[in-house]
Copies of this chain bind each other. A is one copy, B any other.
């Protein structure tokens, strides 16, 4: 005879049969203030360990967890404790229990001062017995794994089983942090008077020369996926919106298999009319990034520290106002460090990183602007520098030595734009609509596009952009 048989079991599937009055308490609220209260909690079984007539469970909600104890006694029968011990890890359960203060802190849980004495336990959604990866392995720092020979989880296993990998405290922190970047970006720009726009992703012509563009079957014709919202942002400037931003996917059909390239990523884009000098825009963009960095350090310290536990790194440093170097100054620094480079040569990835280290040593900042790129290495619509025909009014911004933003003053004069397009060998017919946008009065303007996943990666000191894309896309990965 099981005297507790009504107190445990597998619940029938929740199909919204009823609306019980029951209040579910958050694990993060289980503190000594609640001692001796009876509470209901819904949580995942993080671990369970049976020991004679007792079963210890760790219950988890995102980054929070608490110890629960099911012990044979008035409330729990032998059968009930056995049932509890047999619940598969990662299953979701409802537990009724008494909050009890513990004498010795529970070091392995976030709720260290209390445990939950189980009175009822029901499985809400059962996990399969074999997990494709263990959450504890997935948050283990890699160095420790190497040193001690303890398991870690490789990236493909993580990405193949993303639904589980995203449950780790590190992943939870990374993506809550990333949500914060988007929020701070918009908050800052809306306060500055920017208007949010939505730009189409399916476009009729591959605007930027036609390389690296995905083709879409569009009814009986072909169309393309936009490689950036730039042309549309510029049209909004020509349409008097003055200051615009957008957040959306951008697509690059580039067969690059590196730590920082994705075929689909999220662009944080800005475009802005200015009065006399594109530095008005550069300053707005740099200030926006500084506001984001400050906001992240103020509001997301918990998340930063959680990620640091698994991926230790130096705190992100930046200056106010932001350091702005000219390309020729960067060249001089690189040459002094023994690098041979031509005046009109673009920065290679290793040289970008070296430059980042040199700048960090000299100026103690992880964030800086590189201004006045050689005209030859920038797109056709980039405004040439009026004082030096080999330079341009264009800039990149860097975090920890990697590019996160590329931007420029755009040519707003249809005649000069035509000349530059011809110089680049671009078919004028294909960009007619673009050039025509500037024929009815266009203010001088500049802008730039920020890669969201890169900002997350570099601020947190992570090493692969796939860690900061929930469902990354690259030439070899289209799933899940």
**Chain A residues near B (Cβ < 8 Å):** 13-20, 22, 24, 42, 44, 61-62, 90-92, 124-128, 131, 162-167, 171-172, 175-176, 178-179, 182-183, 186, 190, 195-204, 214-219, 221, 223, 225, 232, 235-236, 238-242, 247-249, 251, 253, 255, 263-264, 266, 275-279, 383-387, 393, 409, 412-413, 416, 433, 437-444, 452, 469-473, 475, 478-480
Q: Decide if A204 touches B125 in the complex (CB within 8 Å).
A: no
Q: 3 closest Cβ contacts across the A-B interface?
A: A166-B239, A204-B478, A127-B441
Q: How far is the CA of A384 from the CA of B251 in the complex (A)?
A: 38
Chain B residues, CB < 8 A from A235: 162-163, 166, 471, 480
Chain B residues, CB < 8 A from A198: 178, 249, 266, 452, 469-470
Q: A61-B240, A202-B251 are in contact. List 19 more A-B contacts (CB 8 A).
A: A13-B413, A15-B384, A16-B279, A19-B277, A163-B238, A166-B241, A171-B239, A175-B195, A175-B197, A179-B195, A199-B470, A200-B249, A200-B473, A202-B473, A203-B478, A204-B478, A204-B479, A214-B216, A218-B253
Q: How far is the CA of A30 from the CA of B150 in the complex (A)?
A: 71
Q: How far is the CA of A127 from the CA of B470 in the complex (A)?
A: 46
Whether A190 touches B183, Cβ cut-off 8 Å, given contacts A92-B443, A214-B218, A241-B175, is: yes
Give the residue of B179, B219, B385, B471 whose beta carbon is less than 8 angstroms from that of A253.
B219
Chain B residues, CB < 8 A from A202: 214, 225, 251, 263-264, 473, 478
Chain B residues, CB < 8 A from A124: 443-444
Q: How far is the CA of A377 from the CA of B103 in the complex (A)?
A: 58
Q: Decide if B203 touches A126 in the complex (CB within 8 Å).
A: no
Q: How far is the CA of A433 from the CA of B216 in the complex (A)?
A: 24
Chain B residues, CB < 8 A from A441: 44, 90-92, 125-127
Tell me what chain A mostly uses at the interface: helix, strand, loop, or mixed. loop
Give the residue of B24, B239, B276 whose beta carbon is less than 8 angstroms from that of A16.
B276
Nearest-CB residue, chain B, relative to A237: B163
Instruction: Give A152 Cβ to nearest chain B Cβ, in Å.
Output: 19
Give the residue of B16, B167, B217 whose beta carbon is less than 8 angstroms from that of A386.
B16
Interchain residue pairs with CB less than 8 A apart (25): A14-B276, A14-B412, A16-B277, A16-B409, A19-B277, A91-B441, A92-B443, A124-B443, A124-B444, A126-B441, A127-B440, A163-B239, A163-B440, A165-B239, A167-B240, A175-B241, A179-B197, A199-B470, A200-B471, A202-B264, A215-B216, A215-B217, A219-B475, A248-B248, A249-B249
Instruction: Give A233 Cβ to nearest chain B Cβ, in Å.
Output: 11
